[in-house]
Amino acid sequence: MVDRIRVLLQTTIASVVDDWNISRFSLLREYLAGLGAHAHVQFEVDARDRVSPGGSDPTLSDLDRSDYNQLWLFAVDTGDGLDPRDCAGISRFRKRGGGLLVARDHMDLGSSVCNLGGVGAAHYFHTRNPDPDPNRHRADDRDTADISWPNYHSGANGDWQQIEVVSPAHPLLLDPSSPSGLIRYLPAHPHEGGIGAPADDPTARVIARGRSKVTGVRFNIAVAFEASAEGGPAIAESTFHHFADYNWEPSQGCPSFVTEAPGNGLAEFPEALRTTERYVRNIALWLSRRPTR
């Protein structure tokens, strides 16, 4: 019997053509929808942008009443992407056991997630919930002058980065096809955001780190929240660019405001794209409490 899992991929902006709207995550959607051969699980994937800002989103604000099992939230807004009722609906969804991934980006991009309970506290921004370590209140990427900290430079869009798996290795980072048995590569991005495990949440820990190609500074890539009586499993991601079409395949294009030249590292090193897809597979299974092996 096939186990069906319903996944919602959702951005925090309306369907603006020249922005990071949900159509720019089409490769992720296609990959997830094609995972039916794994562990007798069929992923049914919906993808949508939010309705126009200025009110609650009808899906997010009532998410706990839906039949979705997972929400992958791509916070691409400039601070107003989630209404308080949206945050309440998402929080109730996780409280009833739903799996949640929240990914943002540099500086204050996606800072509306600060209003989310639990996972929101894992995201550090420039003007909201800044990193508790003041030594990190400095620019890392120096090439794009209008983007300030946090903005860790892991490489060009379209290139890959080698990540550090924090011991003990989390199930999200297991990869039997890798010589090390671990995921080692993810897409790079010129200015990743800041995240950390909330000090008052024993269910949360940093599971992966990256290293800046500009300064050599290590930074957190992913924080995992284990399922507990407080809610379902969750993940905080330093950037939504780990999942965007442009970072997997730059020929897919990007919004006009992106000025940095892309690389072609993933195209030249297919192993990095394979491990990225393995990471996505692991997330999809783990968020619904299925084994990742």
The third-level CATH classification (topology) of the domain covering 3-286 is: Rossmann fold (3.40.50)
User: pTM for the complete prediction?
Assistant: 0.97
Q: Is the pLDDT of residue 109 over 90?
A: yes
pLDDT of residue 226: 98
- pLDDT(2) > 90: no
pLDDT tens digits for range 55-77 = 899 999 999 999 999 999 999 99
Is residue 177 over pLDDT 80?
yes
Q: Say whether pLDDT at 39 is over 60.
A: no
Banded pLDDT at 1 (limits 50, 70, 90): low
Contact 98, 233 (CB under 8 A): no
Predicted confidence band of residue 90 (pLDDT cuts 50, 70, 90): very high
Closest C-alpha to 129, from 147, 151, 150, 157: 150
Domain ranges of the chain: 3-286
CB 110 within 8 Å of CB 76: yes
Task: Look up residue 7 and give its two tokens.
Answer: 């996944």
Q: What is the pLDDT of residue 40?
A: 75
Q: pLDDT value at position 69? A: 98
Residues of 279-293 as b/e, b for ≥16 C-beta within 10 angstroms? Answer: bbbbbbbbbbebebe
Average the pLDDT over each of 49-63, 112-126, 186-200 and give the range with the smallest value.
49-63
Residue 38 has pLDDT above 60, yes or no: no
Residue 69: count other Cβ atoms within 10 Å of its Cβ.
21
